[in-house]
Amino acid sequence: MSTTWLKSSYSGGQGGNCVEWAPQLAASGNVPVRDSKDTSRASLSFPTAAWSAFVSGLKHAER
């Protein structure tokens, strides 16, 4: 099965800090995350609850 990676909505076309995640693999209970600028490197994996809390915290910090 091939993995589809989705780029963060905050990753612009100008380079910088860019991350991608693989939602279809998140169903396993872990969310894989990788550097979109160097996809040949290994991905990191975070428990789904921890990743959700992280994203929620980022959204809350924007307000």
For residues 50 and 24, the model is more confident at 50
Q: Is pTM beyond 0.75 here?
A: no
Query: What percent of the chain is modeled with pLDDT above 70?
Result: 83
Q: Are 33 and 43 in contact (CB under 8 A)?
A: yes
Give pLDDT tens digits for 20-41. 888 888 888 999 999 988 889 9
Where do the domains of the chain lie?
6-61
pLDDT for the residue 53: 93
Q: Are 16 and 29 in contact (CB under 8 A)?
A: no
Query: How confident is the prediction for the chain on average, in pLDDT?
Result: 83
Tokens of 4: 């589809």
Residues contacting 30, CB < 8 A, separation 6+: 45, 46, 47, 48
